[in-house]
Amino acid sequence: ELGNLVNNADVFVTNKTGKTINTSTDKAGRYIFRALTSGSYALKVTSNDFDLFEASEIVVVAGQTQSFDVQLKIKPINASVS
């Protein structure tokens, strides 16, 4: 099931040496990392009202355009009634 696009989510990629680069999603929910070197990366996406998304072992090949779609899950609402 597809949901709404999330703009202004924080997106982080980390390579095997621990170097992290970050960006944010645009109004269409897209994010772009330019000029990543070839290798394996971990990806994290955070946004208010959504659970943290994490993926690992994302293989990037330098000079190729690649996409990795993310589906964020809405955080559960913690409410109490008294």
In the chain the beta strands, taken as DSSP E runs, fall at 10-15, 20-24, 39-46, 53-60
What is the pLDDT at residue 80? 66
pTM score of the predicted model: 0.86
How many CB atoms neighbour CB 45 within 10 A? 22
2: helix, strand or coil: coil
Q: List the pLDDT tens digit at each of the 82 positions of the chain.
A: 456 789 999 999 999 999 999 999 999 999 999 989 999 999 999 999 899 999 999 999 998 999 999 999 998 877 667 6
What is the pLDDT at residue 82? 67
Distance between CA 31 and CA 82 in Å, rounded? 43
How many CB atoms neighbour CB 25 within 10 A? 20
Q: How many CA atoms lie within 13 A of 13 on its CB side?
A: 20
What is the pLDDT at residue 16? 95
